[in-house]
Amino acid sequence: MHTSLIQAATQTLIDHVDELTALDQAIGDGDHGLNMRRGAQAIQAQLPELAGKPLNDVLVAMGRTCMATIGGSSGPVFGMLMVTLGKELPPDPQPEDVARALDLGIAALTRLGKAEVGQKTLLDVLAPVQAVLSTNGDDLLARVRQCALDSAAATAHMDASRGRASFLGDRALGHVDPGSRSMSLIIIAVCDHLGAAR
């Protein structure tokens, strides 16, 4: 289950490399798509040795791979998130467990990047998704999926006060944050995979 889920989540980043590159060319260095693809491919190469390991170990290993292979600020950010989830999730996590671990992950990223919700970063996807997970209830996967999609799109209307986009001022308006889009793609892939497995 872990390996097929990871395959789906990493493959969506590879498949969307051109979109992510174009988003980053508009407001960043233009290398986000290539960086995320490099990390995704490095994780895929490790799947045979990750198969059969506990979820926690897999997440920590993936996080360390991100830190080692993804360039720019994305490596530490995505890596820290996965390492935190790996340390905080129980072996068979329920939605409330994921919500709690994600809350701790958001706190870790806030400390790492000195960023807050509303500053046009992937926190603007993670925080709304965490809030939806906290409510649990019916159609949770569908609601989390839609939340991730909508929250990434909403970053187009935010002022950037963190990262390279912050130097652009109003010119960053109208452009979706690449890190937010990557985060939403991963969450959507996870939701679709879990939904199909039911």
Q: Structural domains in the chain?
A: 2-197 (1.25.40.340)
Of 154, 151, 155, 152, the residue nearest 165 (C-alpha)? 155
Note the pLDDT of residue 154: 95
Prediction pTM value = 0.92
What is the CA angle 168-170-175, rounded to 5? Answer: 80
pLDDT per residue, tens digit, the chain (198 aa), is 589 999 999 999 999 999 999 998 887 788 999 999 999 999 999 999 999 899 999 999 999 999 999 988 899 999 999 999 999 999 889 999 999 999 999 999 999 988 888 888 899 999 999 999 999 889 999 999 999 999 999 999 887 555 544 444 455 566 799 999 999 999 999 999 999 877
Residues 6+ apart with CB under 8 A from 192: 8, 145
Mind spelling out the 3-state secondary structure of 88-114? HCCCCCCHHHHHHHHHHHHHHHHHHHC
Quote the distance between the C-alpha of residue 2 and its chain's center: 17
Lookup: tokens for 152: 């990434």
Q: How far apart, in whole angstroms, are the C-alpha atoms of residue 87 and residue 10? A: 21
